[in-house]
């Protein structure tokens, strides 16, 4: 069913400015239970921005970690300027002239801005001590270069997220690197900061650096990238010049089939309101949230990373305390102070951070499934293992879980199967409302389809679903209605019919009409303006 | 010069208030000579707290420092008793070396075998004490068995202060330089503050922890000599239970047990707080038996205070509207 | 992920008996048998019912605390103040004695002080979100410090004769009251940890406190109860120890916390939380008792035995890790 395109090097025209800087060939990398990369190749040219495109879990981050010496490939070669190299540690890659702006901020709260920028390669005095004055001065220069007005001597913990991100960028540029990797560098930046970053990238190009640019945002890719490489499920499925491709073609490569087909068509009876939220606010994370969720409905929540969607959902689930506002379940006012209370009221939450908040690695599958339902599987507080296995079997089989036994440690399952266990856990509590936070982030396509199909089944059975997702196809394919959040507030609400990607992205970014035109753009009227 | 963080200033203020309160009734306590005495009395705790600080910064803990001290103290005392001719500086270096070795043993278990530090040092704590018994046969090394030079060094006055105080001052100065101005010193913060990110920046987390343990061991070795020469006696149980005092000094000094947060100033002030309380109690005529309860309360208050200060602020998603676009 | 669709997923891959045979507890039983045999062969005085009975006093009090501590450590917390709670509870009993308390009152005072200290620890840890290791280092000084303030260098003596039964009495033949009490405590905690929903929640918290919270486990409440129980067991141990010694000094049970933790870790409880079992800790307690007794019979001083304990601790934790490393097993990054 997956149509695999080969990397067509023969088709690739000559690089705009000469010699290859970096060549990866036949790179393979496996983790227990997961094949993250298989036979992957990549080429980087000087003065060129190469976009690395792929869905979550396609293997982009693994590749970045291999390039920066954090992981070592199981097979394959890395050639730098024609010479084969091996990076045993991050330090080796660093010395070879590869620098990266990682997705996770690789920074240290207790150190100063200058120290964060120069950790590991600080200028020294003749005595071998760190030359503070020079370090601060040079940090100032680097920060100035990227247009960041940050005091090099400030302590990092006193900085906001966007400033921290700029420090991370400054850190990457503090070395004279030949190759700069940017892993979703714009995710936490404001519009103005993004523009400055683009200018910086242009300057780096002019200096002849090879840039590997990883992004989900197609407008960004078409704006600054010269070349592209597409990953799907750990494989390289296409590469070439940006000027020779278009939006649709890239999406097809990335997803492996036209967007419309991934998501099962479904019909569900939309009933009366189950959950009504009004005037819901938090001191720092979100404000004035009001919406209604109806029986049998899938309500999508779209927004950029850090728009406050997860924070809102966690407040609804009783993890954090809202400062104002009311929640009604089936018309009754519900004050939810803890997850235990939310579960009793019929609201459950499948978190985005599956490893930390969802699955409990170390406990077997059946114990994960029964954990919130222990009152049903115990008698007078005593465990009844037979009941537990029965319950676990019932719900895991509905989700087509793949595991060796129900006694298997959840931590040894693949991401997709872990997610199925988490969902099974919640279904066993017989909830009314399921909140899914990035339900298919980082899981394989097969499991994704299973999760989507199951969502359809659930709403057909009368449940209501809130789905937080940053994947536009998923939002467009699955939601009955979409709410877009921006900076902690509801920016817009759309009905499903006629909604397109561009409208969503504009609403989420809070910009109007500045973006490069995308194919098949149509403009439906938003139900509720920003 | 970087400003001292508020934690240290607050702790210093607390100590000053304490001193002022004592001075109000007993002015003699704040005479320079007496304060110098208090400092001298706290010197060993300061040196040990500096060592423990490095370990805690890397998100580890060393429960074996006092046992390490006792073992090194016994080794140098016995060496001195058997071969009185060995020059004292050489003996001190030897003590430091033995201490570093014992610390390295902790470190290698943490680094290469990846046993949790608390388990490692819980084990080595009893092992080190046991070894003291084995090498000494349970005997004491008494004052008359030690050479005069051996006992004299910590007391030897220099510019009005005993050598012991000078050693502590030197340790503070060197440590301050080391921790703020060398790559390894900064790596301690990186490893404890964000181990994953430390790997990304090319820092070997295990090796950094190993070095922290080794250096802490070296300081324990130095303290071993200072302890036995100052008190002119060595036996199995010297500094028994002191390991927790060292950790307590660090905690009071604002060094976060979760790693990555703390300063030389904090460790020194935390130790000094202990020293002031201990020395003040007899002066203000409170039974010294109060000391333990006071330090216990101080630890609880300090950790509660630090936790409040460290509590992460929200992500602050809501911004001003004008900042939006 | 394997491509083969498994329609049916079995409950378990191997029977519970097979996994039991491969478990840490089985290894510990083997070690216990080994120690027993070595002792029996090396000393003619070992295989004597009364001597063996005496040997149990070496560990029963610490082991009672270890049972509760095991649950606490599995849940990812620790209580280093247990020995100080003994000192405070014992001091409180001594004070009560001065005011003419009889045996029932003494027992109640001991248990109450234990419970109160546990509640204080639990309140600090769960109410303020403080790290338990530091909090209990603090309360360890505080509790013992209060005992010192009350007692100074004095001692309480003159406990009633029937009170002494808690530490010196025999239920039947060589079976001491302490041994029976320890067995009951072990049974209680064994059932609590392994057979109840509460125990399941303890494991969940230890493996992933955030995940447990997100699964509706009332994490703070469970942890608070565990601190309460650890305090209560320390109070119980204080009663037995005070009755056995017949006196209270502020230095009573000094440094026991480290021995209790060693016992728990030796019993296969992961110091970082998440795994371990009561049978394991039970056998570890017996091993430590047998070793102490055996060394005693061989006239080896206790302090030398501590070398053995320390090495044992490091070896039992380090060996499996090294074993996995040598077999070249990858761990997830």
- CA C106 – CA A424 distance, rounded (Å): 52
**Residue A150: is its pLDDT beyond 80?**
yes
Per-block average pLDDT, block size 10, for chain C (333 residues)?
53 73 79 86 81 84 95 95 96 93 93 97 92 88 93 90 87 88 96 94 94 93 97 96 92 85 89 91 90 82 79 80 65 36
A vs B: CB pairs below 8 A: 108
- CA B97 – CA B88 distance, rounded (Å): 14
**Residue B323: is its pLDDT beyond 60?**
no
User: What are the CA-CA distances from residue C115 to residues B318, C89, C233 (Å)?
Assistant: 45, 10, 8
Domains of chain B: 38-306 (1.10.3470)
Q: Specify the pTM.
A: 0.83
Q: Which of B254, B318, B319, B322 is the best residue to mutate to test the A interface, defined by the most A CB atoms within 10 Å of its own CB? A: B318
At residue A11, the pLDDT reads 40
Radius of gyration of chain C (CA): 21
- CA A359 – CA A350 distance, rounded (Å): 10
Q: Which chains touch B (3 or more CB pairs under 8 A)?
A: A, C
**Residue B62: is its pLDDT beyond 70?**
yes
Those residues with Cβ within 8 angstroms of residue A95's Cβ, 6 or more apart along the chain or in another chain:
none
Domain assignment present for residue C214? The answer is yes
**Residue A521: is its pLDDT beyond 50?**
no
Q: Which residues of A touch C215 (CB under 8 A)?
A: 339, 360, 371-372, 425
| 3-state secondary structure string across B297-321 | HHHHHHHHHHHHHHCCCCCCCCCCH
Q: What is the ipTM of this complex?
A: 0.83
**Residue A266: is its pLDDT beyond 80?**
no
Q: Name the pLDDT band for A446 (thresholds 50, 70, 90).
A: low
| B1 interfaces chain A, CB cutoff of 8 Å | no
How high does pLDDT run on average in chain A? 82
Q: Which CATH class is domain A1-97+180-257?
A: alpha beta
**Residue A244: is its pLDDT beyond 90?**
no
| Pairing, β A481-486 against β A489-495 | antiparallel
At residue A256, the pLDDT reads 67
Domain assignment present for residue C185? The answer is yes
Cβ count near C129 (within 10 Å):
12
Domain assignment present for residue C328? The answer is no
- CA C49 – CA A371 distance, rounded (Å): 46
| 3-state secondary structure string across chain C | CCCCCCCCCCCCCCCHHHHHHCCHHHHHHHHHHHHHHHHHHHCCCCCCHHHHHHHHCCCHHHHHHHHHHHHHHHCCCCCCCHHHHHHHHHHHHHHHHHCCCCHHHHHHHHHHHHHHHHHHHHHHHHHHCCCHHHHHHHHHHHHHHHHHHHHCCCCEECCCHHHHHHHHCEEECCEEHHHHHHHHHHHHHHHHHHHEHHHHHHHHHHHCHHHHHHCCCCHHHHHHHHHHHHHHHHHHHHHHHHHHHCEECCCCCCCHHHHHHHHHHHCCCCCCCCCCCHHHHHHHHHHHHHHHHHHHHCCCCHHHHHHHHHHHHHHHHHHHHHHHHHCCCCCCC
At residue C184, the pLDDT reads 96
What is the pLDDT averaged over residues A314-332? 90
Strand order in the sheet with A179-183: A98-101, A179-183, A210-214, A48-53, A227-232, A235-241
| Pairing, β A210-214 against β A48-53 | parallel
What is the pLDDT averaged over residues A211-232? 86
Q: Residue C238's domain spans which residues?
A: 46-315
Helix axis angle for C60-74 and C219-245, nearest 10°, is 170
Extents of the domains making up chain A: 1-97+180-257, 107-175, 262-359+430-509
**Chain B residue with Cα closest to C153:** B289
Tokens at A303, concatenated: 């927004």
CB C211 within 8 A of CB C204: yes
**Chain A residue with Cα closest to B194:** A108
B182, B201, B315 ranked by CB distance to A306: nearest = B315
More confident residue, B79 or B202: B79
| 3-state secondary structure string across A115-142 | HHHHCCCCCECCCCCECHHHHHHHHHHH
Q: Domains in chain C: how many in total?
A: 1
3-state secondary structure of B199: helix
CATH at C278? 1.10.3470.10
Domain assignment present for residue C324? The answer is no
| Pairing, β A289-294 against β A298-303 | unpaired
Query: A262-359+430-509 has which fold?
Result: Rossmann fold (3.40.50)
At residue C272, the pLDDT reads 85
Q: Model confidence over B218-244: pLDDT tens digits? A: 999 999 999 999 998 888 888 887 888
DSSP 8-state assignment for residue A98: E
Q: Which chains touch A (3 or more CB pairs under 8 A)?
A: B, C
* B148 HSE (CA, 13 A, CB side): 0
More confident residue, A340 or A36: A340
Domain assignment present for residue C107? The answer is yes
- CA C38 – CA C311 distance, rounded (Å): 19
How high does pLDDT run on average in chain B? 86
As a whole number of Å, the end-to-end CA separation of chain C is 18
Q: Model confidence over A41-89: pLDDT tens digits? A: 888 898 899 999 877 667 888 888 898 888 888 888 888 887 888 888 8
Least confident of A281-290, A414-423, C67-76: A414-423
- CA A309 – CA A468 distance, rounded (Å): 7
Q: Which of B263, B317, B324 is the best residue to mutate to test the A interface, defined by the most A CB atoms within 10 Å of its own CB? A: B317
DSSP 8-state assignment for residue A488: T
**Residue A186: is its pLDDT beyond 80?**
no
Domain assignment present for residue C243? The answer is yes
Which A residues, 123 through 182, put their C-beta within 8 Å of a C-beta on chain B? 128-130, 132, 153, 160-161
A89, A108, A132 ranked by CB distance to B202: nearest = A89
From C139's Cα to the closest Cα of chain B, the distance in A is 6
Q: Name the pLDDT band for A209 (thresholds 50, 70, 90).
A: confident
Q: Model confidence over A102-126: pLDDT tens digits? A: 876 678 888 899 998 988 888 888 8
- CA A242 – CA A245 distance, rounded (Å): 5
**Chain B residue with Cα closest to C265:** B119
């Amino acid at each position: 069913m997956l149509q695999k395109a080969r990397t067509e090097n023969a088709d690739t025209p000559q690089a705009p400015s000469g010699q290859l800087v970096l060549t990866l060939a036949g790179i393979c990398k496996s983790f227990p239970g997961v094949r993250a990369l298989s036979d992957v190749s990549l080429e980087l040219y000087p003065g060129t921005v190469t976009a690395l495109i792929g869905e979550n879990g396609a293997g982009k981050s693994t590749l970045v970690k291999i390039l920066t010496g954090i992981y070592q490939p199981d097979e394959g070669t890395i050639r730098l300027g024609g010479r084969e190299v091996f990076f045993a540690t991050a330090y080796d890659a660093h010395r070879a002239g590869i620098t990266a702006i990682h997705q996770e901020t690789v920074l240290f709260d207790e150190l100063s801005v200058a120290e964060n920028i120069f950790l590991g390669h600080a200028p020294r005095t003749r005595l071998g001590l760190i030359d503070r004055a020079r370090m601060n001065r040079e940090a100032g220069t680097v920060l100035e270069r990227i247009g960041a007005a940050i005091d090099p001597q400030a302590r990092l913990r006193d900085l906001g997220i966007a400033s921290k991100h700029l420090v991370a960028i400054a850190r990457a540029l503090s070395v004279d690197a030949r190759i700069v990797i940017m892993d979703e560098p714009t995710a936490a930046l404001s519009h103005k900061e993004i523009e400055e970053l683009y200018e910086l990238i242009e300057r780096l190009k002019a200096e002849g650096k090879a840039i590997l640019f990883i992004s989900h945002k197609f407008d960004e890719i078409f704006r600054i990238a010269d070349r592209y490489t597409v990953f799907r499920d750990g494989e390289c499925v296409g590469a070439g010049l940006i000027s020779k491709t278009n939006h649709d073609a890239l999406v097809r490569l990335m997803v492996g089939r036209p967007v419309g087909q991934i998501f099962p068509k479904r019909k569900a009876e939309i009933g009366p309101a189950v959950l009504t939220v009004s005037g819901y606010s938090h001191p720092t994370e979100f404000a004035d949230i009001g919406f209604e969720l109806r029986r049998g409905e899938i309500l999508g929540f779209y927004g950029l990373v850090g728009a406050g969607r997860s924070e809102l959902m966690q407040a609804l689930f009783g993890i954090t305390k809202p400062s104002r506002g009311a929640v009604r379940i089936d018309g009754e006012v519900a004050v939810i102070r803890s997850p235990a209370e939310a579960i009793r009221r019929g609201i459950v939450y499948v978190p985005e951070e599956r490893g930390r908040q969802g699955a409990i690695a170390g406990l077997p599958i059946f114990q994960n499934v029964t954990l919130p339902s222990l009152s049903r599987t115990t008698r007078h507080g005593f465990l009844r293992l037979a009941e537990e296995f029965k319950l676990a079997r019932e719900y895991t089989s509905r989700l087509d879980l793949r595991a060796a036994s129900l006694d298997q440690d959840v931590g040894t399952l693949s991401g997709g199967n872990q997610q199925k266990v988490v969902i099974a856990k919640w279904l066993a509590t017989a909830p009314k409302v399921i909140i899914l936070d990035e339900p298919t982030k980082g899981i394989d396509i097969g499991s994704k389809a299973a999760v989507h199909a199951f969502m359809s089944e659930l709403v057909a059975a009368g449940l209501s679903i809130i789905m937080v997702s940053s994947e536009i196809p998923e939002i467009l394919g699955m939601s009955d209605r979409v709410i877009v959040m921006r900076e902690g507030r509801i920016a817009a609400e759309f009905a499903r019919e006629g909604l397109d990607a561009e409208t969503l992205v504009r609403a989420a970014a809070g910009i109007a009409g500045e973006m490069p035109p995308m194919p098949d753009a149509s403009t439906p009227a938003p139900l509720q303006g920003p | 010069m970087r400003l001292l963080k508020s934690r240290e200033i607050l702790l210093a203020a607390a100590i000053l208030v304490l001193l002022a309160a004592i001075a109000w009734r007993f002015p003699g306590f704040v005479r320079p000579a007496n304060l110098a005495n208090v400092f001298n009395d706290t010197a060993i705790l300061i040196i040990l707290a500096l060592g423990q600080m490095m370990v805690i910064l890397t998100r580890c803990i060393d429960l074996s420092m006092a046992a390490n001290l006792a073992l090194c103290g016994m080794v140098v005392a016995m060496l001195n008793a058997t071969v009185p001719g060995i020059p004292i500086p050489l003996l001190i270096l030897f003590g430091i070396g033995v201490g570093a070795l014992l610390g390295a043993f902790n470190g290698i278990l943490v680094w290469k075998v990846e046993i949790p530090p608390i388990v490692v040092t819980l084990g080595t704590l009893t092992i080190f004490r046991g070894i003291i018994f084995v090498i000494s046969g349970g005997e004491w090394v008494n004052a008359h068995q030690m050479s005069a030079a051996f006992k004299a060094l910590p007391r030897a006055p220099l510019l009005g202060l005993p050598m012991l105080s000078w050693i502590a001052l030197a340790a503070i100065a060197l440590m301050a330089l080391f921790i703020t101005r060398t790559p390894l010193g900064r790596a301690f913060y990186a490893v404890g503050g964000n181990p994953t990110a430390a790997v990304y920046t090319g820092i070997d987390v295990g090796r950094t922890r190993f070095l922290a343990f080794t250096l802490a061991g070296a300081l324990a070795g130095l303290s071993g000599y200072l302890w036995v020469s100052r008190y002119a006696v060595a036996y199995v149980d010297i500094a028994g239970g002191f390991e927790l005092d060292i950790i307590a000094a660090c905690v009071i000094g604002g060094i976060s047990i979760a790693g990555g947060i703390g300063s030389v100033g904090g460790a020194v002030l935390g130790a000094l707080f202990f020293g002031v309380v201990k020395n003040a109690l007899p002066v203000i005529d409170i039974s010294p038996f109060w000391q333990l309860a006071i330090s216990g309360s101080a630890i609880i208050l300090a950790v509660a205070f630090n936790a409040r200060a460290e509590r992460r602020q929200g992500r602050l998603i809501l911004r001003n509207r004008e900042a939006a676009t | 992920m394997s491509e083969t669709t498994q329609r049916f997923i079995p409950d378990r891959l191997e029977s519970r008996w097979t996994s039991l045979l491969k478990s840490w507890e089985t290894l510990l039983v083997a070690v216990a048998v080994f120690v027993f045999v070595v002792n029996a062969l090396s000393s003619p005085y070992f295989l004597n019912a009364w001597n063996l009975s005496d040997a149990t006093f070496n560990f029963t009090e610490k082991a009672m605390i270890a049972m509760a501590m095991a649950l606490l450590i599995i849940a990812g917390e620790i209580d280093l103040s247990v020995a100080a709670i003994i000192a405070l509870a014992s001091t409180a009993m001594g004070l009560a004695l001065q005011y003419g308390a009889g045996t029932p009152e003494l027992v109640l005072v001991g248990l109450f002080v234990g419970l109160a200290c546990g509640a204080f620890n639990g309140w600090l840890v769960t109410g303020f979100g403080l790290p338990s290791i530091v909090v209990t280092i603090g309360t360890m000084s505080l509790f013992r410090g209060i005992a010192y303030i009350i007692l100074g260098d004095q001692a309480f003596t003159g406990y009633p004769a029937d009170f002494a039964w808690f530490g010196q009495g025999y239920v039947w033949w060589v079976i001491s009251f302490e041994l029976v009490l320890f067995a009951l405590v072990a049974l209680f905690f064994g059932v609590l940890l392994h057979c109840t929903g509460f125990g399941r929640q303890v494991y969940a918290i230890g493996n992933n406190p955030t995940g447990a919270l997100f699964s509706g486990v009332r994490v703070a409440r469970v942890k608070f109860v565990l601190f309460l129980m650890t305090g209560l067991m320390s109070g119980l141990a204080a009663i037995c120890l005070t009755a056995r010694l017949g006196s209270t000094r502020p230095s009573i049970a000094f440094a026991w916390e480290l021995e209790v933790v060693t016992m728990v870790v030796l019993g296969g409880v992961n110091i970082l939380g998440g795994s371990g079992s009561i049978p394991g800790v039970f056998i570890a307690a017996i091993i430590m008792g047998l070793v102490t007794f055996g060394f005693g019979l061989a006239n080896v001083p206790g302090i030398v035995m501590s070398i053995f304990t320390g090495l044992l601790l490091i070896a039992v934790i380090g060996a499996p890790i090294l074993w996995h490393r040598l077999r070249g097993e990858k761990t997830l990054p």
